[in-house]
Amino acid sequence: MEAGTISANIAKVSRQVSTAADKCGRAPEVIRIMAVSKTRPAREVRAAAACGIVDFGENYLQEAVEKIEACSDLDLCWHFIGPLQSNKTRAVAEHFDWVHSIDREKLLRRLNDQRPEDRGPLNVCIQVNISAEDSKAGVLPSELEPLLAVAAAQPRLALRGLMAIPAPAAEFAAQRAPLDALAELFSRARERYPSLDTLSMGMSADLEAAVTAGSTIVRIGTAIFGSRG
């Protein structure tokens, strides 16, 4: 995709975030736009960065590491948002700033042990299967508390929040229901873990609903880079 198109798309997404935030009385500046750059070349990352995007989300490790190294001259924040296997934790711990897809204790302990000391704590979000879909990763709400406790106890990890990918829905009210449920879980968890400050929810199709429900990071791929070929 051409840089000019990416720039126009980012401006449109930024307006959508601001409009949604204004409608529900939130400050737009507290909502971060993450550009989901999986399958996109480094030149498109650079084009988005030139428009002020700092946060980039990746799903595929090998591709992501190559991209991170290709853009190492830029001051970017890299988020791993895809399913994470145990044999990939070392590379994630070494190259990323955030991991949003934690759904089991083993991952937390491996990421903690493998995080380089000179990089500072790795920011982590627990993924919640908020729609209870068999096909989705994440812990069920009833399983969340033990994982939060393990995450909070790891010295090289910073427990930041919750992430979810709800079941797709076309209507605004149907989009809001699982997002509101995640926000309620987040609110309750903050009472015990005050370091929690991040709700990673909302993508191109449910952006307005996510902002209304309290998202602090929206993960936008298609609306910025177009559909994957």
For the chain, domain boundaries: 3-225
Q: Specify the pLDDT at position 177.
A: 95
CATH class (in words) of the domain with range 3-225: alpha beta
Asked whether 175 and 206 are in contact (CB, 8 A), the reply is yes
Instruction: Determine if the pTM surpasses 0.85.
Output: yes
- pLDDT tens per residue, the chain (229 residues)? 898 999 999 999 999 999 999 999 999 999 999 999 999 999 999 999 999 999 999 999 999 999 999 999 999 999 999 999 999 999 999 999 999 999 999 999 999 999 999 999 999 999 999 988 777 889 999 999 999 999 999 999 999 999 999 999 999 999 999 999 999 999 999 999 999 999 999 999 999 999 999 999 999 999 999 886 5
Asked whether 49 and 71 are in contact (CB, 8 A), the reply is yes
Q: Specify the pLDDT at position 60.
A: 94
DSSP assignment letter at 24:
T
Q: Specify the pLDDT at position 135.
A: 77
Residue 148: phi, psi to the nearest 5? -60, -40
Q: Specify the pLDDT at position 132.
A: 82
> How many other β-carbons are positioned within 10 Å of the β-carbon of residue 62?
9
Q: Specify the pLDDT at position 229.
A: 53
- Closest residue by Cα to residue 227 from 46, 69, 67, 36: 36
